[in-house]
Amino acid sequence: MDIASQPARKKRRWPKIIGFSVLGLVIILSVILVAANMYAKRSLPQISGEIKLQGLIDKVNVVRDEEGVPHIKAKNDHDLYMAQGYITAQDRLFQMDLSRRQASGQLSEVIGESSVEQDKFFRTFGLRRAAEASYEGYSDEMKAYLQSYADGVNRFMKEAIAENKLPVEFTLLGYEPSEWTIIDTLTIVKYMAYDLGGHWEGQVFRSYLLSEFTEEEAMDLFPAYPEVAPTVIEEGAIDWEESFASAHIPDEFNGSNNWVISGEKSESGSPLLADDPHLGLMTPSIWYQSTLQSNEQNISGVTFAGIPGIIIGHNKNVAWGITNVGPDVQDVYIEKINPDNPNQYLYNDEWIDAEIVTETIKVKGQKAIDHEVMITRHGPVISEFAHDNKSDTALSLKWTALEATQDLEAIPLMNKASNWEEFDAAIEHFKAPSSNFVFAAKDGTIAYKASGKIPIRKKGESLVPVPGWNDDYEWEGYIPHNELPTLINPEEGFIATANNKIVDDSYPYHISNVWAQPYRQQRILEVLNAKETFTVEDMKALQMDIKNLQAEEFVPIFLEQLSNQKLSEQEQEAVNLLKKWDFEDDEAETAPLLFQTMLLEISDVLFGEKISDEMMDLFEGKNQVIDELIRHANEGEEGPWIKNNGGLSKVIHQALKQTTDTLSERYGDDMSKWQWGDEHKLQFSHPLSRVSPLQHIFNSKDAIPVGGSAVTVQAARRNDETGIVNHGASWRYIIDTSDFSKAYHIVGPGQSGHFKSDWYNNQFEDWVTGDYHITTLDEPINEDQTLTLTPN
């Protein structure tokens, strides 16, 4: 062999070897991708043909319309709810399972150690225990409906497991879902109440203020000065940051817009109704849209996946929308713990044995954890380290939703109501969460009512934790349903709510200390007062309105305060842009980005060095408080937080400086290239998208710039750290009651929870542009998307 020729031969062979390797790798990857794609598609729901469903009495037709909304037609309610359970599970089984696990404190069983603290929190609150306590109070008829729904879910689950067609998320997490029960549904209802009602965190935060700051500093951050400001927790008695570091805080911006206009103010001569609940924006949507028809009802709208019937929607006679009242339905009590027996607490001079519940938390890949929950007469102890050697006090929570309530009794009654009287009687069952209902009827009636269990207190107004060792601060009952705020056919010809204060000081009962900032409500009223008559198109435009009335109020104050400050060239450029702004939160404009960033920086200037991030998470109503601090200071009444930072002018100037410095660092010095959409982008994130690279599978569309903000009618609140809009109108709904057979909707990002479905994210851009789709009460004609469920 010619040795000299060997290198040349090797050199010639390398490209062939590399080429073969790359080609082989491409082929292998292609086969894997094709196989994965085929496997994923196996779990797409069957939407045509016939399925035999054990337990049905008669045949059920399910026709999906162009947006994937199922129109379920049955001859009786038993079959209707069973079919609804089956079809909802087809589209949303993984979401349903994750929802019940989160609410029950059972995530660690499938996710692992990272979820243990969250599970401990929800086991402590005891939503599932409250659901179990609520079950016995339900009527036999409602229990039967709930069981029919659960049976439908389980029929689908059994088929999917047997045929290896579970959604791919189960495969990725390596588990199979367990049987669906009525308690699962009731626990999701309790979680809905948790997500929408509260104020316990605000009470804790204000007590922290009283223990860590001067009384003047503490009261400056209260929503109102209390008649009695208890300071019964001694300084250092509770380590606030440690006690609530793992607390799962519901989004205080959970709310909605809704309004109803009388026939006198509509071009059609019949009432117009609009509703857009503001909740987390996620994939799949928190709402599941359906049309349900039996011999007893014909109803269209949305519900939460896992709950039968329709929560918001319309039938052929009435329509309704819901916003969150946000009342004080939680009180934190300070319990004195027996130093000789940590399982006893003091009440009216007697040591009472607390109930101790051991909650066993299963943890994936590890041993189960026993978590002990202490429950007093007021409720569970929620301070994690409340009665160790450092302290003889504990904080317990009393909350209406932890009582036995039969909220779902309202659903079939609402769905079948034909007038205001029947509807009002139905929502009396809807105890938690407390909700603002707007209503329109075929007979022209428009109405508003606040529903729910709102406590009447012997003493105090739920501003701070109160003594629990005597009966001075107990509840004496609840506001009677017929005395809750109500408005029927007002002279103005319209009613609107946006989580704003719903009563004036003449109302005889206490409802809340903390309300949403008023700007959405003010803008809605501004628009509804501006014209004589309105159309559906006007309602769509109002739901998509991005006028920022907070900016309209505060930008002039900022400019006035900055007029006596020495500004840098860049700061002056920012001021000039704010002067020209029309106060529209347009994603392509610079001024909204400047204003929103200044608001964040004002908070940092005032509190950044004084209050930790952990405690700031508990600062309920922070934005309203900051608004008031600025208003009062601008009127010459500077409080300690502004005064101690050099006065309002200096605070505003420092915030502007930090704003321009921050944005320059991110986007360069050319301010003309800064846009609100740079830090205000819409993304509907899937729960598994936090695990890379799964975001590329489940978040199949990139985040896109979007207008609006937290205070515009087109609610679009961003995460301040990521700039991702993850909270806003989770569903948009408009109906002209001159034709009850149809309504207009947007369910972002889409109807389906299956990432291979055509309806998974087809309404993503619609959410941004306001492109509504029509859903009818009539059964659509679509043979390719018609499924028949028949008795087995």
String of b and e for 56-70 (b: at least 16 CB within 10 Å)?
A: beeebebbbbebbbb
Q: Is 256 a catalytic residue?
A: yes
With 0-12 CB in 10 A as exposed, 13-18 as middle and 19+ as buried, what is 487?
A: middle
Cα 430-434-436 angle, rounded to 5 deg: 100
Q: Is 331 annotated as a binding residue?
A: yes
User: Which of 104, 134, 243, 256 is flagged as catalytic?
Assistant: 256
- CA atoms in the 13 A half-sphere facing the CB of 760: 16
**Which SS3 state, helix, strand or coil, does residue 211 take?**
helix
Q: Is 617 annotated as a binding residue?
A: no
Return the sign of the alpha-carbon dihedral for residues 716, 721, 722, 726. negative
236/227 Cα distance (integer angstroms):
24
Q: In Å, how far are 115, 205, 233, 725, 770 from 457, measured between CA atoms?
A: 36, 21, 21, 38, 44
| Phi, psi (rounded to 5 degrees) for 97 | -65, -40
**Order of strands, edge to edge, in the sheet holding 446-450?**
49-53, 786-791, 60-64, 70-73, 287-293, 298-304, 312-314, 318-324, 435-441, 446-450, 486-488
194/636 Cα distance (integer angstroms):
40
471/475 Cα distance (integer angstroms):
9
Specify which residues 446 forms β-bridges with.
440
Q: Which of these, 674, 494, 521, lies nearest to 587 by C-alpha position? A: 674
Q: Which of these, 424, 310, 331, lies nearest to 81 by C-alpha position? A: 310
Question: Could you tell me if 434 and 452 are in contact, meaning their C-beta atoms sit under 8 angstroms apart?
Answer: yes
193/400 Cα distance (integer angstroms):
9
Return the active site residues: 256
For the annotated binding site for Ca(2+), the residues are 328, 331
- Annotation: binding site: 328, 331
